[in-house]
């Protein structure tokens, strides 16, 4: 199951990052979004990112060569020729299911279909996929061009061959697969990471420490490249909230319920860099100005 052509549905931060990674690896990519302006913005962002990587010698070839491999898609029709169809939609179960129903009559009988969900069980999504046996999870981490690991998740009906093909694809695009053998909410790395994320929010709620000091401590004492709140603003507070709610609803375990501070920020539209304020404040170019509370 060699992947040479990829269809990416969703041109937000993650979708554009996945499209970039695939194009840099020499694959043909079709990038689709319900909002055509989002695709145009994604292509601008990808070009900027690839230009930086080419200048540093981290990507082979020219910027134009990489960009030539990415084609904007006006609809789902190009998915018919793809070897892999990637769903990169916001963590909303019904939105994902609606996309799968629309893809069902389009995708090839041989194509792999994958979700980039960070928390929703693959088996739950597979029930609405074109073919549950060819459906799997491919969970990239943000920012996709920089992060070296991808979780490959096997759903209850995913065949061994498809699961193995997912690992082969991840290696082919220059990443390392984390093979998730059993389908549980949050998979592996978020099951480990989310408890610390929740605790950090609760410490801020309780006035124990500031957002800035927690992030600084995690960078300087724990060796993280980015603090929890810096990462949260990049990913989007709504994405974190959606993932935690999906895990809570699936498991019924109170430990996954989003903290009050996160719920209030999402309700207020403070979603991170994309809205100009989240845990921090940002200018029009996305440069951090300071903590949101100042």
CA 44 – CA 50 distance, rounded (Å): 10
Exposed/middle/buried for residue 105 (C-beta within 10 Å: 0-12, 13-18, 19+): exposed
3 state SS for the chain:
CCCCEEEEECCCHHHHHHHHHHHHCCCEEEEECCCHHHHHHHHHHHHHHHHHHHHCCCCCCCHHHHHCCEEEECCCHHHHHCCEEEECCCCCHHHHHHHHHHHCCCCCCCCEEEECCCCCCHHHHHCCCCCHHHEEEEEECCCCCCCCEEEEEECCCCCHHHHHHHHHHHHHCCCEEEEECCCCCCCCHHHHHHHHHHHHHHHHHCCCCCHHHHHHHHHHHHCCCCCHHHHHHHHCHHHHHHHHHHHHHHHCCHHHCCCHHHHHHHHCCCCEHHHCECCEEECCCCCEEEECCC
Q: Which tokens in the block code for residue 146?
A: 């920089």
Q: Which tokens in the block code for residue 207?
A: 């006035």
Catalytic residues: 118, 139, 151, 190
Which of 91, 93, 82, 74 lies closest to 27 in space, CA to CA? 82
């Amino acid at each position: 199951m060699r992947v040479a052509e990829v269809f990416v549905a969703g041109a937000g931060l993650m979708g554009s990052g996945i499209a970039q990674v695939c194009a840099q690896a020499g694959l043909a990519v079709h990038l689709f979004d319900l909002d055509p302006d989002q695709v145009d913005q994604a292509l601008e962002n990808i070009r900027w990112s690839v230009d930086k990587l080419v200048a540093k010698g981290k990507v082979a070839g020219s910027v134009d060569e990489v960009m030539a491999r990415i084609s904007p898609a006006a609809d789902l029709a190009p998915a018919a020729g793809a070897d892999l169809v990637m769903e990169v939609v916001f963590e909303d179960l019904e939105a994902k299911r609606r996309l799968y129903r629309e893809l069902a009559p389009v995708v090839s009988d041989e194509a792999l279909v994958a979700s980039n969900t960070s928390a929703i069980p693959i088996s739950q999504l597979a029930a609405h996929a074109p073919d549950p046996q060819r459906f799997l999870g491919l969970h990239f981490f943000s920012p996709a061009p920089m992060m070296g690991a991808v979780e490959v998740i096997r759903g209850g009906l995913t065949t061994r061959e498809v699961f193995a093909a997912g690992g082969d694809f991840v290696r082919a695009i220059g990443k390392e697969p984390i093979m998730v053998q059993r389908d549980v909410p949050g998979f592996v790395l978020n099951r480990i990471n989310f408890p610390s994320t929740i605790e950090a929010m609760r410490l801020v709620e309780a006035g124990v420490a500031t957002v800035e000091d927690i992030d600084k401590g995690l960078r300087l004492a724990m060796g993280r490249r980015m603090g929890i709140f810096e990462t949260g603003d990049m990913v989007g507070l709504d994405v974190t909230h959606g993932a935690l709610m999906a895990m809570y609803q699936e498991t019924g375990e109170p430990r996954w319920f989003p903290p009050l501070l996160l719920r209030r920020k999402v309700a207020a539209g403070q979603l991170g860099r994309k809205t100009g304020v989240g845990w921090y404040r940002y200018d029009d170019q996305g440069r951090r100005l300071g903590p949101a509370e100042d």
